[in-house]
Structures are given as structure tokens and as C-alpha cells.
Amino acid sequence: MQHKVVVSSLVVAIVTALLIVGACGCTPKPAEVTDVVELPELPELPDEAQPAETTFEWTEAPTIESIPEGTIAGMINGQPFEAKTVRVQKRNKGPQLNISDGVPDTPTGSMSKDIGIDLRFPLEEGAAGEFTTSFEDKKDFDTAHAFFWYPKSDGKGSMSVNPKWGAAMEVTEWTLEKDPDNEDIIGNVKGRVVITFGDDEKSWVAGSFDTIYFE
């Protein structure tokens, strides 16, 4: 649609015509519009802004290069997942990455009624390194294992899911230094990870972390 704007000459013409009518009682001819400015059509606004979509695509053979930017998030049991707690725990069989949407009372405290993922990974304590495995790769259960859990619908406990899985993990920095305020915390770990599962919903999590190492 085009909008027309009449300049001030029209106003002057109308005022002059009214004065003439008042003076002689005659009816003047309508003033001619000589100056017209055409405005461009207004652009249409989108109905609603859409959220950005993740660039990660589920796969049976995840790679370090496929890990998207940002903190750990994903889809678990068909529902969007966002990690609120990420920790690395020292265990007898090797270090274990714990990812959860719960928040413990203390940095090393336990959680309940949360959705979470555990990944036991075969990397050397205190050193940078990489670990990659696909669904079909053979795994040593004692040093490499992943599973996830979520609350049961009846509210009585959690459902543990142990399907086929694949993972890619990069530790860029792993310091060993006890926290003077918490004797359980013995260091800090930085890196990124992706874990995919072979359940019907094709669950996965991926992202970066900078977290405590505790025992």
C-alpha cells in the first residue's frame, strides 16, 4: 500500500478558500494538490521469533569435532535436558563424569529425583587427553561405561537405562590440588564431551564443562 503526504501548500489553499467564501459568499473550486510524496510499503514483521536450533546430530559414532559450543545439554528419554551439575569423581575403577539436572546441597553431595548421566572413562588422572568410542567398539566395562536415569512416573525411585552407547571426550586441563575449604575436592577438570545412547528415543548430551574433581 502507498501512503500520500500532502505538503503545506494544500493547507494554505484551503485557508485562502475559506476567506474568499466568507468575503463574497461564493463557492471556490477545490484546490489542486501539486506536491505529493510517495512513501515505500512498510515491511511485514515475522509472526514470532524462533529459537536457535542445536547443530548436533545424533550418531552411533560421535566425534570430538561434533561437540557443539556451550554448556552440556541434550535430550534424555525424549525430553529436553540441561545440566545444572557436572562433576568428575575419583572411583576405584577410574574417573567418572557425572552429569545431572539436579543441584546438590553441597558441591559433592548426593541428589535424588534427578535426571542424570554417568560416564566412566579411561583417561589418566591429572593429564589432558582424548577418548572416543562408538556403539560397535568393544569396551572394557571396568574402565568405560555409560548409562542414564530418570524418575519413575509413580515417583518411587529412578529408572536406570543401559543401552548401547558411544562417546567422545576431550580433557584440556586437569589440575590436582586439594581445596582447603572442602577436603573431598582434590582438583579441577576442564573439557568437553558428547554421549549418545541407543534407546528408542535416541538420547544424547553434549557440551563443555569446567568442574571439580572429588573423591
Q: What is the pLDDT of residues 84-132, one digit of tens each?
A: 999 999 999 899 999 999 999 999 999 999 999 999 999 999 999 999 9
Using pLDDT thresholds of 50, 70 and 90, give the confidence band for residue 40: low
User: For the chain, what are the domain ranges?
Assistant: 3-39, 64-214
Using pLDDT thresholds of 50, 70 and 90, give the confidence band for residue 41: low
For residue 3, what pLDDT is reported? 43
Cβ-proximal residues to 175 (8 Å cutoff; 6+ apart), any chain? 126, 187, 188, 189
Mean pLDDT, rounded, of the chain? 84
HSE-CB for 90 with a 13 A CA cutoff: 15
For residue 12, what pLDDT is reported? 45
Phi, psi for 152 (deg, rounded to 5): -70, 155
Using pLDDT thresholds of 50, 70 and 90, give the confidence band for residue 204: very high
The string of DSSP codes covering 116-159 is EEEEE----TTS-EEEEE-TTS---TTT-EEEEEEE-TTSSSEE
pTM: predicted TM-score of the whole model, two decimal places = 0.75
For residue 155, what pLDDT is reported? 86
Length of the chain equals 215
